[in-house]
């Protein structure tokens, strides 16, 4: 597939556009966390005073450090997801260039599997820490906030699929190299 054909392939074009869009969204989310975390720590007293003023004295028990912990873990997840889409974008680029079984793609798929596994595992402490934040919200009686820690078997299945695809691509690249060596 030539570069001109790549730009006419709607699937590859959509894949490239979607990965870039998702990376932009991850960048925005990351910047939001990078602003919110220090703001919460630095302006803790003001935030608590304003909450207590608006919601009553029970709001003074704002769980700042659990909130910071959840946001810090979410920031790590956002960075990992950004890197996941960066690897996917590069794979799409090699497919468009006509070289999908490049050895680099096997490595990229392996990295994507590890990144997705890390995101799946980060969800566990986010849900555990988030429970204290949702308890605080419930105690206020002003609404609800729910953090769940359901095991996402689909995510773990995707990790396994990515590891298998990494091996397939590695084997495909080796077979192509062997074939080229015999011609």
Report the pLDDT value the prediction gives residue 2, as an integer from 0 to 100.
Answer: 52
Q: 163-175: per-residue pLDDT in tens?
A: 999 999 999 888 8
Average pLDDT over residues 33-39: 96
Give 57's DSSP letter.
G
Taking 90 as the threshold, does the pLDDT of residue 119 lie above it? yes
Report the pLDDT value the prediction gives residue 48, as an integer from 0 to 100.
Answer: 84
Do 92 and 19 meet the contact criterion of CB atoms below 8 Å apart? yes
Instruction: Find the radius of gyration of the CA atoms of the chain.
Output: 22
Q: Which two tokens stand for residue 149?
A: 């820690």
Angle (CA) 101-105-107 rounded to 5° is: 130
Taking 60 as the threshold, does the pLDDT of residue 3 lie above it? no
**Confidence tier at 144 by pLDDT (50, 70, 90):** low
pTM: 0.84
Taking 60 as the threshold, does the pLDDT of residue 7 lie above it? no
d(CA 21, CA 85): 10
Scanning the structure block, which residue is given the tokens 């869009």? Answer: 21
Report the pLDDT value the prediction gives residue 172, as an integer from 0 to 100.
Answer: 86
**Confidence tier at 142 by pLDDT (50, 70, 90):** low
């Amino acid at each position: 597939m030539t570069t001109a054909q790549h730009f006419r392939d709607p699937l590859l074009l959509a894949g490239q556009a979607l990965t870039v869009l998702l990376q932009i969204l991850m960048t925005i989310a990351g910047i939001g966390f990078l602003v919110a975390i220090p703001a919460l720590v630095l302006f803790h007293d003001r935030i608590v005073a304003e909450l207590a003023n608006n919601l009553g004295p029970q709001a003074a028990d704002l769980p700042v450090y659990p909130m910071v912990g959840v946001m810090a873990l979410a920031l790590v997840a956002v960075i990992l997801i950004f890197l996941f889409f960066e690897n996917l974008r590069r794979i799409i680029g090699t497919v468009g260039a006509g070289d999908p079984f490049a050895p680099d793609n096997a490595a990229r798929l392996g990295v994507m599997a590890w990144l997705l596994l890390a995101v799946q595992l980060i969800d566990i402490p986010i849900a555990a820490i988030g429970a204290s934040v949702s308890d605080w919200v419930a105690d206020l009686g002003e609404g609800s906030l729910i953090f769940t820690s359901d095991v996402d078997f689909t995510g773990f299945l995707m990790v396994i699929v990515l590891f298998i695809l990494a091996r397939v691509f590695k084997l495909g690249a080796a077979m192509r190299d062997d074939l080229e060596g015999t011609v």
